[in-house]
Amino acid sequence: MSRDADDARWRDPKRLWWPLALAVPTLPWQAGALVHLTGVAALWWWGPFFAFVLVPLFDLVAGVDGSHPPEAAMRRLEQDRYYRWCTYLYLPLQFAALVWACGQWAGGGLGVGGAIGLAATTGVVAGVAINTAHELGHKRERLERGLSRLALAQSGYGHFYVEHNHGHHVRVATPEDPASSRRGESFWLFLPRTVLGSARSAWVLERRRLRRRGRRTWSRHNDVLSAWALSAALFGVLGAVFGPAVLPWLLLQAVCGIGLLESVNYLEHYGLLRQRRADGRYERVTPRHSWNSDNTVSNLFLFQLQRHSDHHANPLRRYQTLRHFDEAPQLPAGYAAMIVLAWVPPLWRRVMDPRLLAHYGGDARLTHTRPAPGPAGPLRAPSR
């Protein structure tokens, strides 16, 4: 039998493990069950403990997986709808858990610490839902694009759909991209820059798109406005059903979800820079412009978001077929551990700056470095 025939018969060894990602939207229920069984109110914080303690430990035990499907098996894997349903099912679990959490907040028996803990746990669900929306939003099918926008409603970050696809993927690893962090820029400085810059960029992109089509910016055709309206409607319905007392907790869980997303954005392109060509344009995106991680467990929970280099090279490629590239710079741990490290800037720079400089052969001039303080220039968004 030829090698091509062997490759065509290849079977995904992680096939039965992908539904593990669906454990994430059940985190609020897990927290409630643990509190009920033990009487320990601190377990309302189960979501952050699971994400930032247990997952890094699982990564340490399971190790890395540098393998990927052979080329002959790619088409078959892409067409296998089993993998799509692993993402589709995230949404009903996500919103069922959100409704359940509202019931707990409305009941008033959690105490302030417990209510905040449940909001943080629900925020982990919201943050990973943005990742699920990221996977769905890159696809051509109308159903998947619609589900992507719906998944973003919980975090109120619907403009991510516009900015990520039409802004970030064009400007990644350049000074013009608000979602690409710079060497020497702490996460806490990056956070307001990326949140405000991404919202502004999404608005500019959408305004340009509508003008080209002869439509008004303030209209139902505006994808940014419709996304924000969907979040407002969701929060309004939940507030009407459970009472206005749930609204502060809904806002808090959304902030937690946004913070989780932007933590991931911070580490994905830290200090990496596309160089300008002789004609003044940036070089094309290559695997060298994204930090990768092949930690097995984190990749299962995040639909292989950590294979970020192949994603930027092939945005339409589905998660089950993303490949590892040896030339891509590698993170020393999975996203879960690196997010915690990013929250402590001195430790982050001690670990990551030497790796960044080594990636560029010790030449700091080739890195994307935080500019000296001074007046900021205008943010330029590409045409959409």
Q: Among 24, 86, 51, 59, which residue's Cα sits nearest to residue 297?
A: 59
Cα(285)–Cα(170) distance, integer angstroms: 9
Q: The whole model's pTM is what?
A: 0.92
- Domain assignment present for 2: no
- Does 4 fall in a domain? no
Q: What is the DSSP letter of 165?
A: I
Write the pLDDT tens digit of every residue in 174-224. 999 999 999 999 999 999 999 999 999 999 999 999 999 999 999 999 999
Sequence-distant (≥ 6) Cβ neighbours of residue 58 within 8 angstroms: 297
pLDDT reported for residue 310: 86
- Residue-wise burial string across 16-41, b where 16 or more C-beta atoms lie within 10 A, e elsewhere: eebeebbebbbbbbbbbebbeeeeee
Q: What is the pLDDT of residue 4?
A: 54
How is 267-297 classified by DSSP, letter by letter? HHSTT--PPB-TTSPBPPP-GGGS-B--BHH
Q: How far apart are CA 187 and CA 201, in angstroms?
A: 20
Give residue 242's identity as a one-letter amino acid code.
F
Given this model, what pLDDT does residue 375 score? 46
Please state the domain count of the chain. Answer: 1
Domain enclosing residue 143, as ranges: 14-366
135 membership: H or E segment, kind and range:
helix 111-137
- Can you say how many angstroms the Cα of residue 200 is from the centroid of all Cα atoms in its chain? 19
What is the pLDDT, as a whole number, of residue 8? 61
In a domain, residue 67? The reply is yes
Instruction: For 367, list phi and psi in degrees, rounded to 5.
Output: -90, 160
Domain contains 79: yes
Residue 305 CA neighbour count, 13 Å, CB half: 25
Q: Where are the alpha helices (DSSP H) in 153-246?
A: 160-163, 169-171, 187-212, 223-242
Residues of the chain with pLDDT under 70: 1-8, 372-384
Do the domain assignments include residue 84? Answer: yes
Decide: 224 and 167 in contact? Cβ < 8 Å: no
Q: Tell me, yes or no, whether 377 lies in a domain.
A: no
Asked if the structure places residue 6 within a domain, the reply is: no
371 lies in a domain?
no
Structure tokens at 299: 């990749």
